[in-house]
Structure 1
Amino acid sequence: MAALGFHERRHAQCHAAITSLSHQDGELLLALALTLQPSTRSRWAELASKLGLRGPAGRAWSTQDIEPVAERLAAASLVVVERSPSGAQHLVPPWIAILVLSVAVERGKLDGPVPARAPVHDYDLRRIREESGVELRIAAARRDRAAVARVIGSRYAYDRDELRVWLLAALGSSPPVGLIELLPEEEVRASYLAGVVDVQAARLHPPQDHVADHAIQLGDKHVLMQIARMLVLVGESERARALPHLPKHGAAGLALLAAFWAGDDEGARAIGDAA
């Protein structure tokens, strides 16, 4: 089946890259995974300092010390570098950040309590979004269902669109198996699933099997139709048509898409005329 294995291979490759890092490179990657915002090297050094990490010769990390590490992590596709006239910004993609934190949990590096938030004014939404997103990442990496529910419950009154953006920023668009079921309430899972599928479709990534399974369970017609379209584009037309809960005219739309994708113009016209 053409769609199988894409995300699993990507996760396995990233996990192998993370676990093969040197001690110091791994610590710096962990520090960067504990923020949702792109960071300059100077901010990265501050993040490392807050975690008590030491650089070469046991001294505090400097921007100069971080530069070669940043280059190695970018070469390993674990860090994305965004360049602008004001300088380079570094970010661990959210789905990779979850893997980084999961490895840290396996190694006992995140056993302590999550650091308490500093007092934040209600109007400082960016900081609230950032700090609660980091808490959610840690809770998800620990597979702590109660903590996940607590963070999500305290963060939002379930405003769906805003919730989706925040969940994607914290958890990413390529969830590992077991992550979705950590999310509380059907509405939260549905919101996150819709965001994941939309991003995967926009990037022409094949849908993950467990994402499709959750979508079927929830019966969300929009999400299932997006998954069906992606299955057609990766050569899985029969599997796409077999999905339950599709919209009334979904089968005809999928057949039309499959005909166009296969270059069957006459077949596509016939399907359109019959619709």
Structure 2
Amino acid sequence: MTREIVIGNVKIGANKPLVLIAGPCVIESEEATLRHAERLMTICNGISMPLIFKASYDKANRTSLGAFRGPGMEEGLRILAKVKESLGLPVISDIHSIEQVAPAAEVLDVLQIPAFLCRQTDLLIAAAKSGKVINVKKGQFLAPWDMKNVAAKIAGTGNENIILTERGVSFGYNNLAVDMRSFPIMRSTGYPVVFDATHSVQLPGGQGGSSGGQREYVEYLSRAAVATGIDGIFMEVHENPDKALCDGPNSIDLADLPALLKTLKSIDILVK
């Protein structure tokens, strides 16, 4: 069993009910962000599923220089603070450098370490010293058992509010695969484990100047992952994925989300 971590009004781990971490890939505007957060909250309240709202203020690892990155840290954090204050939702976003830790920690409930940065020791330690919950995406280049070393860097500061997230492993060029063994392996660290269902169907750089994706497989991978007993599910969602400014090909349509979450909740109840 994994340890319990409290994030605002959400409890994750220790065989607590499945938690949803969801939102659009990137903050497109204040209006769109609040609209998505409100719809997600309505959906989750309808099925009694705990929700942490996710949206990135800066996507610093886009495929091409011209790709949309978001509004930047200052404006993005202002918008996320509004989501938190107006709707009462815990919020999570990516940090990319040590300089971002302090201002991000003033707003965010969870600091997220992107997969490409999961071995950056100084960033991990700086984030941990903020005292916030740290969610680390497992790098596409790492084995699941390698994440114990990542967690140890954070825990070495005295902060054991750690979440580990699986997001697929490189499987040839422009493709990812998910090894279901990774979930019990990473949960053996004692920290809650989340499955990033939408990035796991991403085709990195698959469209030449941007990443592609296969959102039609999110449902199947999600069902399998939840059946292993994971603690949370991470999904990028959008009201119109084909028009999303970032990661649209692997994002879930908000209209399809309620039915999928009901299925996942049923599986979670069964296995726990």
Alignment TM-score, normalising by the size of structure 1 = 0.27
| Structure of higher RCO (CA pairs closer than 8 Å, 6+ residues apart) | 2
Alignment TM-score, normalising by the size of structure 2 = 0.27
**Structure ranking higher in strand proportion:** 2
**Structure ranking higher in helix proportion:** 1
Asked which structure has the greater CA Rg, the reply is: 1
